[in-house]
Each structure stands twice: as structure tokens, then as C-alpha cells.
């Protein structure tokens, strides 16, 4: 199973209680990974409010994941 | 030095201003986003920002490049602070230089709009009554390839 | 200290910036008009400004007051330099502070437009070829009572 | 005859060769004073390009002049 690093920010960091974690997952895409995290940790942000980044680049929800990827689900931003 | 930076230390306003100097520049416009003491009628005690720094730098830099394609700019720079900020501290600094002022104004305002919509930074407000809340944000505009 | 000033010494950018601080301010916008090294394709060596200081201060102050009636500003300040200026020196500085950035941007740009149209200051360009010319100006908008 | 102070700026300063002068004049309004100065000193800026200030306030061309007034004819401005 691929090993992934997940980084958490803002609401998701609060809900997960972690800045980051390394996990092994059967999820083949970011979408399946997020659904797995929702199940395991009770994350509440709807997919439609999030943007996915893999290895510091924004990708589509159905982009495939590979061993060693760093995945981030980006909540609505509020900089400035 | 990167044109767009994310820093967890106070923004060095004078150093950023110096980087706008250009002999062909006739107009410089600077925007500073500052921590204010209220939000929607509630007193704010302090703010905490989180940022996904590598992507924030990349997106911020892309915004600056895009601004240079839209306006004839001589300089376009930006910096976003993260971490703990007190009232009065600068959270974001955007600066533009152009031969004429209209372009410098338009580009600076546009860059700031884009930064708010696209740069992965999150603001948490601690109110005077002790309540702590993430600011209501904007769903990020993705630059993911279709 | 007057909100609008005319000075024959270099504009103290940091001091003017500090005067924009306000606990309710969320956005500051600063415009600097700088001496550039060219004008309409000709190389500029230096500039000399003349100003009718007492009227310039009065008109500049009226512009700032008018801006405060149009936008909810927390600060609106301006300074125009006169005398001999080299390339890269600031000829004019305008700064605004507001709770939100849109008002600060709009007011700063508007104030600068008004300053150019109404404040009695005149610019003389000395070009690299030694030619000396008064800049083509704008007929002043009078505020004379009808 | 009223004694007036006239200040000169920009093109008018160049043409007059003076920053300011005190003059006695029979001109009863700014318009007549400017015409007198055009005659005496060959000032070339048309009246329609100028604005008149008396005692640091903008006035109309037909505003009356009084003894001790400071009069300025303001050429097109080019600040910023």
C-alpha cells in the first residue's frame, strides 16, 4: 500500500489534532483519501469547499496518488 | 530574493519598499493589510495566521507574473506574514512600480484581490471575549490542469 | 502637524507612513510619485518644482477633507516636494487608511488625481540634452465662488 | 492708487524675470491687472489658461482688487 504524507491546515488541523501525519492508504485518488479521512477522523469540511494539492501543486480530485506523495486539502482561504 | 515571500517574522516594510526602486518608475503603489481591532462589530484581541508556505509562495509568484503580463510593471512584489499578530501589525504587503500611476494602482489592487482568493493562508481571530474562530474564507480558485 | 504639506526637503517616507497607523485600520494604501529618468521618450536629467505653498496647502487639505466625505477613511495624508529633485526622489506622497482596502485604494487614487488637477505646483524638466521645459500642465480647476 | 503685490510662478516667473514685485496700478480687477502686465512685460499665457488667486484664495477674474492685496496668476499645474 502506498505511504502518503498528509498536511493539515486551519479547520482540518483543529479537527485532526495534528499538523501532519504519514499514513498508508488504499486510496487511489485524493477523493478516496479524503473520504477515508472523513470516516476515520470526522472531518466536516465538504469536498466542494476544498482544493487538493499534491506535492505542492494543485491537482484534480481524481488525480492518482503514488507512494511518497504529500497531500493537502486546502480549506477556504482567508489571507490578507 | 523571491518576489513573493511568506514569513513568520514582522514584515520589513522599509526593505520591501527599497526593492520597488527603479529609475524608470514614476509611480509606486503600496498596500498594507493590517490587523484591525474589530471584525464585523466585534472587538479583536489578536490574530493567528497559518499558511502552506511552499504553495503560497508558488501561487503568489504566479499572481505577480500574471500582473506583469496585464500591466507594464517595473516591479511587483508581495509578502504575507504568518504566525501570531497583534493589532496594528502588517499581515500582508503588496507593492508595484510603473512608469505611470494608473497601472501601478490597478495592478496593486488586482494582486491583492488575487492573493485573498488564491494564496493558501488562513486567519484565526481571537476576540476580546475569548472566542476563537477561523475567518470565513473564500473557496480557493484551483489552478489544477483540466 | 498639517495633513497636507509642501516641503523643500526630501519627503520623510517613514514618518508619513507612521502617521497612517490607526487601530481600526485594516488597509493602508500609499502612492509615491517618483522622478523618473524619461518623459515621452526623452532622457530626463533632473526636475525642479515650484509651488505656491500657502494655496497648495489649502487646496491639498480641502482635497483630503473631500475624500473623507466620500469614503469612510481613518487617515488621509499628503505631501508635495518642491525645489530640485534627482531621478528616484519622491515628488509626492499620498497615504490613506480605512477599515477595508477598497475604500483605501479608491480614495488614494482619487486624491492623487485631484492633487494633479488642482494643487498649484509646477514641474520643470531638464533633459539630458540640456533642454529645460515646463511640463505641459492642466488648467487649474478653480474653487472660486460663483 | 492701490499698491499690490504680484507673485509669479513657472512660465510667468520666467517671462517676468521676478518671483514677486510690488506695484501700484489703476486696475480695479484681476483681469485688468493681468492685461496691464501683459502690456508692460509681454506675458504670453492666455487668460483662459490661468486661475487667479487673491490673498491665497481663488477668485473670479472680475473680483475687485484692494490696496495691499497679493495677486497670483496660476498657470496650468503639473504637480505629482
Query: What pLDDT, in 10s, does the model give residues D62-77?
Result: 999 999 999 999 999 9
Q: Considering only CB atoms, which residues of chain C are within 8 Å of chain D?
A: 33, 49-52, 54-56, 58, 80, 91-92, 112, 115-124, 134-146
> Does A79 fall in a domain?
no
Q: Give the distance from CA A72 to its chain's centroid.
A: 4
> Does D57 fall in a domain?
yes
C128 touching chain B per CB within 8 A:
no
> Does A15 fall in a domain?
yes
> Does C37 fall in a domain?
yes
Q: Give the distance from CA B43 to its chain's centroid.
A: 23
Among B116-120, C138-142, D47-51, D59-63, the range scoring the smallest mean pLDDT is: C138-142
Segment C73-93 mean pLDDT: 98
Average pLDDT, chain D: 96
Furthest-apart CA pair in chain A: how many Å? 40
Residues near A60 by beta carbon (within 8 Å), at least 6 away in sequence: A30, A52, B142, B144, B145, B146
List of chains touching D (3+ CB pairs within 8 A): C
Q: Do the beta carbons of residue B59 and residue B118 sit within 8 Å?
A: yes
C-D contacts (CB, under 8 Å): 97
Radius of gyration of chain C (CA): 16
> Does D79 fall in a domain?
no
> Does C136 fall in a domain?
no
> Does A80 fall in a domain?
no
**pLDDT the model gives residue C1:** 82
Q: Is A34 helix (H, G, I), strand (E, B) or coil?
A: helix
Average pLDDT, chain B: 96
> Does C141 fall in a domain?
no
Band (pLDDT 50/70/90 cuts) for residue B141 is confident
Q: Do the beta carbons of residue A66 and residue A1 sit within 8 Å?
A: no
Band (pLDDT 50/70/90 cuts) for residue C38 is very high
The whole domain housing B53 covers: 4-130
Query: What pLDDT, in 10s, does the model give residues A50-78?
Result: 999 999 999 999 999 999 999 999 999 99
Least CB–CB distance from C23: residue in B33, B36, B108: B36
Residues near C117 by beta carbon (within 8 Å), at least 6 away in sequence: C138, C140, C141, D77
D62: CATH: 3.10.20.30
When divided into structural domains, chain D yields a total of: 1
Segment A22-49 mean pLDDT: 96
| Distance separating alpha carbons of residues D34 and D50, to the nearest angstrom | 10
Q: Is C116 helix (H, G, I), strand (E, B) or coil?
A: helix
- Specify the DSSP element, H or E, that contains B66: helix B53-70
Q: What is the percent of chain B where pLDDT is above 70?
A: 98
Query: What pLDDT, in 10s, does the model give residues B97-139?
Result: 999 999 999 999 999 999 999 999 999 999 999 999 999 999 9
Pick from C103, C73, C27: nearest CA to B91? C27
Q: Is residue B146 predicted with pLDDT exceeding 60? A: no
Q: Which of B142, B143, B145, B146 to mutate to test the interface with A (most CBs of A within 10 A)?
A: B142
Q: What is the ipTM of this complex?
A: 0.95
Can chain A be said to touch chain D, i.e. do they have 3 or more Cβ pairs within 8 angstroms? Answer: no
CB contact under 8 A, D10 and C52: no
> Does C140 fall in a domain?
no
| Distance separating alpha carbons of residues C105 and B105, to the nearest angstrom | 8
Can chain B be said to touch chain C, i.e. do they have 3 or more Cβ pairs within 8 angstroms? Answer: yes
> Does C20 fall in a domain?
yes
Distance in angstroms between the alpha carbons of the first and the last residue of chain B: 32
CB contact under 8 A, B144 and A56: no
Radius of gyration of chain A (CA): 12
List of chains touching C (3+ CB pairs within 8 A): B, D
Radius of gyration of chain D (CA): 12
pTM: 0.96
Least CB–CB distance from C55: residue in D48, D49, D53: D53
Outline where DSSP puts E strands in chain B. 4-7, 27-34, 38-39, 42-51, 73-81, 83-86, 90-98, 121-127, 132-134
Q: Give the distance from CA D34 to its chain's centroid.
A: 5
**Distances in Å between the alpha carbon of B131 and those of B44, B86, C37?**
10, 16, 53
Radius of gyration of chain B (CA): 16
Would you give the DSSP letter of residue A77? B
B106: CATH: 3.90.1170.40
The whole domain housing D61 covers: 3-74
> Does C146 fall in a domain?
no
When divided into structural domains, chain C yields a total of: 1
B14 contacts on C by Cβ (under 8 Å): 14
> Does C14 fall in a domain?
yes
Q: In chain A, what are the helix, strand and coil shares in percent, each to the nearest 5?
A: 30, 30, 40
Would you give the DSSP letter of residue D49? G
β-sheet bridge partners, residue B28: B97, C32
Band (pLDDT 50/70/90 cuts) for residue D1 is confident
Least CB–CB distance from B105: residue in C27, C34, C109: C109
Least CB–CB distance from C32: residue in B28, B31, B87: B28
Pick from B95, B23, B10: nearest CA to B60? B95
Which residue blocks in C23-143 are alpha helix, DSSP H? 53-70, 101-118
Segment B27-52 mean pLDDT: 96
Among A8-17, C137-146, D40-49, the range scoring the smallest mean pLDDT is: C137-146
Q: What is the percent of chain B where pLDDT is above 90?
A: 94
Q: Is residue C142 predicted with pLDDT exceeding 80? A: no
Query: What pLDDT, in 10s, does the model give residues C96-129?
Result: 999 999 999 999 999 999 999 999 999 999 999 9
Q: Within 10 A of A66 (CB to CB), how many other CB atoms are there?
A: 11
Q: Do the beta carbons of residue B51 and residue B80 sit within 8 Å?
A: yes
> Does B139 fall in a domain?
no
Amino acid at each position: 500500500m502506498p505511504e502518503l504524507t498528509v498536511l493539515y491546515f486551519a479547520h482540518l488541523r483543529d479537527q485532526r489534532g495534528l499538523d501532519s501525519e504519514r499514513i498508508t492508504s488504499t486510496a487511489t485518488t485524493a477523493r478516496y483519501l479524503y473520504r477515508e479521512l472523513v470516516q476515520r477522523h470526522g472531518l466536516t469540511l465538504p469536498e466542494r469547499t476544498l482544493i487538493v494539492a499534491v506535492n505542492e501543486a494543485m491537482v484534480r480530485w481524481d488525480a492518482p496518488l503514488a507512494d511518497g506523495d504529500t497531500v493537502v486539502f486546502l480549506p477556504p482561504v482567508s489571507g490578507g | 530574493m523571491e518576489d513573493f515571500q511568506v514569513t513568520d517574522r514582522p514584515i520589513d516594510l522599509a526593505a520591501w519598499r527599497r526593492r520597488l526602486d527603479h529609475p524608470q518608475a514614476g509611480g509606486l503603489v503600496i498596500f498594507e493589510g493590517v490587523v484591525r481591532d474589530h471584525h464585523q462589530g466585534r472587538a479583536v484581541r489578536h490574530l493567528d495566521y497559518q499558511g502552506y508556505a511552499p504553495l503560497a509562495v508558488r501561487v503568489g509568484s504566479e499572481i505577480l507574473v500574471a500582473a506583469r503580463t496585464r500591466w507594464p510593471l517595473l516591479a511587483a512584489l508581495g509578502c504575507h506574514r504568518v504566525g501570531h499578530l497583534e493589532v496594528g501589525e502588517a499581515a500582508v504587503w503588496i507593492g508595484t512600480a510603473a512608469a505611470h500611476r494608473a497601472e501601478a494602482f490597478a495592478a496593486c489592487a488586482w494582486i491583492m484581490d488575487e492573493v485573498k482568493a488564491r494564496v493558501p493562508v488562513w486567519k484565526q481571530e481571537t476576540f476580546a471575549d475569548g472566542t476563537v474562530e477561523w475567518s470565513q474564507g473564500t473557496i480557493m480558485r484551483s489552478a489544477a490542469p483540466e
